[in-house]
Amino acid sequence: MAAAVAVSSAKRSLRAELKQRLRALSAEERLRQSHLLAQKVFTHSEYQKSKRVSIFLSMPDEIETEEIIKDIFRQGKTCFIPRYQLQSSHMDMVKLASPEEIASLPRTSWNIQQPGEDEVLEEALSTGGLDLIFVPGLGFDKLSNRLGRGKGYYDTYLKRCLQSQDVKPYTLALAFKEQICLQVPVDENDVRVDEVLYEDS
């Protein structure tokens, strides 16, 4: 029990430190690293062979994913984006029809754009699963441990993927180099990502 409390408190202070680091990033630097990572993604073998891809719509302190989303459609892949249920840790990955559709999506109370809860859309796991999931996060370490925002959406979703599809989707985190930590505190519910992409990776 004491160990769990220690991990939870270590996560809390690391989150605060990372949010401060991210706030210090200029808009130009954010875009520079985002563009550089998009190029890394385009040449990545897992991305090239994936047909069904899930990607997050970025918040202001995350790698900008717009360039990657446009490429997913250019390459004829199927694109899924998260739809979070704000009152639980449940998230679905729902199909996006086109990059243009993003502009008209409503914003949640967290200021994240996503399709309305009443809108019936194709959910990835009920129509064949996912090949690749781009995972957001606040911090990562060199062992691919991830520090999320504390709600458990991705950890829960990745466990659902394992139950509903035969081949585990490849998980690729996108991070600013400022988000790379010496060590991310983890507990037994945390799911490690397959790979963290950042400028020096």
Dihedral, CA of residue 119, residue 113, residue 100 and residue 193, to nearest 10? -100
Tell me the C-alpha distance between 88 and 81, whole Å.
18
Give the annotated binding-site residues for substrate: 57, 62
Tell me the C-alpha distance between 92 and 11, whole Å.
25
Mean pLDDT rounded to a whole number for the chain: 93
Domain boundaries, the chain: 2-197
Closest CA to 177 of 154, 200, 147, 195: 200
pLDDT for residue 1 is more than 70: no
Instruction: Give the burial class of 20: count Cβ atoms within 10 A of its Cβ; 0-12 exposed, 13-18 middle, 19 or more buried.
Output: exposed
pLDDT digits (tens, 9 = 90+) for 82-104: 999 988 889 999 999 999 999 99
Give the annotated binding-site residues: 11-15, 57, 62, 146-154
Give the annotated binding-site residues for ATP: 11-15, 146-154
Average pLDDT over residues 189-195: 91
Regarding the domain with residue range 2-197, which homologous superfamily does it belong to in the CATH classification? NagB/RpiA/CoA transferase-like (3.40.50.10420)
